[in-house]
């Protein structure tokens, strides 16, 4: 809490007035990232074209607060007190991917797996770009990630039809 207070330019006491515990602060950070994803997704859906929707949404929010984005999608699931909460947020996100990707092959098990795989791939590729990519080249990331997403979706769903 000392570090949080210092980063905000306030004392630890002020931080504790807003958050009763480190756990409460951690949970608020996770929720803020998730809420920002929702806001950004709605803004993107309001645009006339949806090309690059998933990668652009994730990267925009990731660039706003890289540490918080990484906390949500890489670390929270590994923390016992936050694992269930992180799983709930992931489940909602996977459902959104499934709906927007129109995944409905008729095989519930495969559709659920496809949605999980696609979302996991989007998050991981965003985290890697966030760590190693050049912000000046974010448009290339969005374009190539969108193409990769479409290709992966096609490969998964065409494979399902062959079974």
For residue 56, is it within any domain? yes
Neighbours of 27 (CB within 10 A): 16
Please count the structural domains in the chain: 1
Q: Is the pLDDT of residue 157 over 90?
A: no
Task: Examine residue 105 and state whether it is found in any structural domain, yes or no.
Answer: yes
Domain presence at residue 14: no
Q: What is the mean pLDDT of residues 123-127?
A: 97
In a domain, 111, yes or no: yes
- What count of residues does the chain have? 163
In a domain, 2, yes or no: no
DSSP three-state, residue 43: helix
Rounded distance, CA 6 to CA 159, Å?
53
CATH number of the domain within which 97 lies: 1.10.357
| Model confidence, pTM | 0.83
Answer yes or no: are the C-beta atoms of 59 and 130 closer than 8 Å: yes
Residue 101: inside a domain: yes
Residue 86 CA: distances (Å) to CA of 23, 53, 162: 13, 22, 34
| Contact present, 117 and 152 (Cβ < 8 Å) | yes
Q: What is the Cα–Cα distance from 84 to 45, expressed in whole angstroms?
A: 29
Measure the CA dihedral 8/13/19/22, to 10°: 80
- Does residue 128 fall inside a structural domain? yes
What is the extent of the structural domain holding 106? Answer: 21-162
User: pLDDT digit string (tens) for 86-121?
Assistant: 999 999 999 999 999 888 888 899 999 999 999 999
Residue 18, pLDDT score: 58
Higher pLDDT: 9 or 116? It is: 116
Predicted pLDDT at 15: 45
Residue 43 lies in a domain: yes
């Amino acid at each position: 809490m000392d570090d949080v207070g210092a980063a905000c330019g306030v004392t630890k006491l002020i931080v504790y007035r807003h958050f009763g515990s480190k756990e409460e602060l951690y949970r608020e950070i996770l929720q803020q990232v998730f809420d920002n994803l929702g806001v950004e997704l709605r803004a993107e859906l309001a645009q006339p074209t949806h090309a690059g929707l998933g990668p652009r949404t994730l990267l925009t929010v990731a660039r706003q607060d890289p540490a918080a984005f990484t906390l949500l999608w890489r670390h929270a699931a590994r923390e016992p007190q936050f694992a269930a909460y992180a799983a709930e947020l992931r489940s909602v996100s996977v459902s959104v991917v499934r709906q927007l990707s129109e995944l409905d092959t008729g095989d519930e098990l495969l559709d659920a797996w496809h949605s999980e795989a696609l979302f996991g791939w989007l998050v991981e590729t965003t985290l890697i770009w966030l760590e190693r990519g050049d912000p000046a080249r974010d448009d290339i990331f969005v374009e190539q990630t969108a193409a990769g997403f479409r290709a992966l979706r096609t490969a998964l769903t065409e494979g399902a039809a062959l079974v």
